[in-house]
């Protein structure tokens, strides 16, 4: 495995000033050679050749300048071998024989397509996720995988599929982790799985969130009825619990204050009537008894 090495080169601005001084000196040497040639001085040839070679060398050394932007790196290679990565922003200078490839270290995000998978219970669902990522190891991103951006896309979608099959869409028991009801837990699991898959490419997953979650169209109507039935049952349970508590309070209050004495049969009738009134979906229609309470 290729690990990242720091090779930032030399600061470029001081070298620019050296080249600014060097070019006039080369031109001055060339002029001296021309003047010497007019005087038929034997040293004119060496002066002219030296000025030309020095000028060519300066042009070649200028190839060593390169610019590094903030949150950007340049991967340096010498004849195919990895030499290091430059991350210090600004004008830099390195060996002119280096080839320099730019790689971004900025935070990026990827949104997967709506993937059709089966949840833990085998129900077909549609799921999508957003992955926020960035490159942290430039050498691995450049040399360990063919195309790290495409690698992030493929592996993130594979992680989303795997995470979706680990949980049911809805929780049917209290405390059960589900895709719809435990988004934070699912997001943490998804982030961990994405990070494990992207580690080889030198990429860090900063955040993962489910962006789309729905039943597949072929079972959406049936699952909607199921959710509605579950909601009705849960509401009925609350209503019955409240009604039983109110009946109990009414019987205790009547008995404690001695307003009326009821035998077991009449208590049962009263409980039945109160439960019908409290648990019914529509308002009760009272029937007034104009006679006595005894036959």
E strands present in the chain: 10-11, 65-68, 72-78, 81-86, 90-93, 98-104, 108-111, 115-118, 124-135, 203-215
One domain for residues 76 and 131: no
Tens digit of each residue's pLDDT (9 = 90 or more) over 95-132: 999 999 999 999 999 998 888 888 888 888 889 999 99
Structural domain harbouring 76: 10-101
Backbone angles phi, psi at 214, to 5 degrees: -160, 155
**pLDDT at 157 exceeding the cut of 80:** yes
Assigned domain for 191 exists: yes
Confidence of residue 221 (pLDDT cuts 50, 70, 90): low
Assigned domain for 36 exists: yes
Assigned domain for 289 exists: no
One domain for residues 35 and 52: yes
Confidence of residue 277 (pLDDT cuts 50, 70, 90): low
- The alpha carbons of the chain give a radius of gyration, in whole angstroms, of 40
Q: What is the pTM of this model?
A: 0.67
- Give pLDDT, residue 153: 93
Alpha helices in 181-258 (DSSP H): 183-198, 217-257
Retrieve residue 254's tokens.
């009547």
Assigned domain for 240 exists: yes
- Per-residue CA distances from 153 to 121, 156, 157, 201 (Å): 27, 5, 6, 12
- Domains: count for the chain: 3
The angle at the Cα of 125, spanning 123 to 128, to the nearest 5 degrees, equals 150
Last-in-domain residue among 101, 117, 147: 101
Confidence of residue 94 (pLDDT cuts 50, 70, 90): very high
One domain for residues 255 and 203: no
Question: What is the side-by-side strand order in the sheet with 72-78?
Answer: 81-86, 72-78, 98-104
Assigned domain for 207 exists: yes
One domain for residues 135 and 78: no
Retrieve residue 75's tokens.
């991967």
Mean pLDDT, rounded, for 203-230: 77
Assigned domain for 287 exists: no
**pLDDT at 256 exceeding the cut of 80:** no
Last-in-domain residue among 35, 69, 101: 101
- Give pLDDT, residue 222: 62
**pLDDT at 259 exceeding the cut of 70:** no
- Give pLDDT, residue 239: 72
Tens digit of each residue's pLDDT (9 = 90 or more) over 165-206: 888 887 777 777 888 888 888 899 999 999 999 988 999 999
Name the one residue in this structure whose structure tokens are 């942290």: 136
Strand partners of residue 82 = 77
One domain for residues 224 and 210: no
Tens digit of each residue's pLDDT (9 = 90 or more) over 264-274: 666 676 667 66
- Give pLDDT, residue 192: 92
Tens digit of each residue's pLDDT (9 = 90 or more) over 68-82: 999 999 999 999 899
């Amino acid at each position: 495995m290729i690990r990242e090495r720091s090779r930032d080169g030399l600061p470029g601005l001081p070298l620019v000033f050296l080249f600014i001084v060097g070019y006039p000196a080369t031109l001055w040497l060339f002029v001296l050679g021309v003047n010497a040639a007019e005087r038929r001085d034997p040293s004119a040839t060496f002066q002219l050749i030296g000025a030309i070679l020095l000028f060519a060398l300066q042009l070649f050394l200028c190839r060593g300048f390169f610019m590094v932007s903030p949150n950007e790196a340049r991967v340096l290679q010498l004849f195919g071998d990895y030499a290091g990565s430059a991350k210090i922003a600004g004008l830099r200078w390195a060996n002119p024989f280096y080839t320099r490839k730019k790689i971004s270290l900025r935070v990026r995000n990827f949104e997967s397509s709506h993937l059709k998978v089966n949840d833990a219970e085998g129900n077909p669902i549609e799921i999508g996720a957003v992955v926020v990522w960035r490159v942290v190891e430039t050498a691995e991103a450049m040399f360990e995988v063919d195309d790290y951006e495409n690698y992030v896309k493929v592996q993130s979608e594979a992680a989303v599929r795997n995470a979706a099959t680990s949980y049911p869409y809805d929780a049917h028991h209290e405390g059960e982790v589900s895709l719809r009801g435990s988004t934070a837990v699912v997001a943490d699991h998804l982030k961990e799985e994405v990070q494990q898959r992207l580690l080889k490419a030198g990429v860090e997953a900063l955040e993962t969130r489910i962006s789309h979650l729905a039943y597949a169209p072929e079972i959406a109507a049936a699952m909607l009825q199921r959710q509605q039935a579950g909601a009705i049952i849960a509401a009925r349970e609350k209503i019955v619990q409240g009604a039983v508590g109110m009946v109990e309070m009414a019987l205790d209050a009547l008995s404690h204050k001695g307003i009326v004495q009821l035998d077991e049969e009449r208590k049962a009738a009263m409980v039945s009537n109160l439960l019908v009134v409290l648990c019914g979906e529509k308002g009760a229609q009272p029937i007034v008894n104009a006679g006595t309470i005894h036959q």
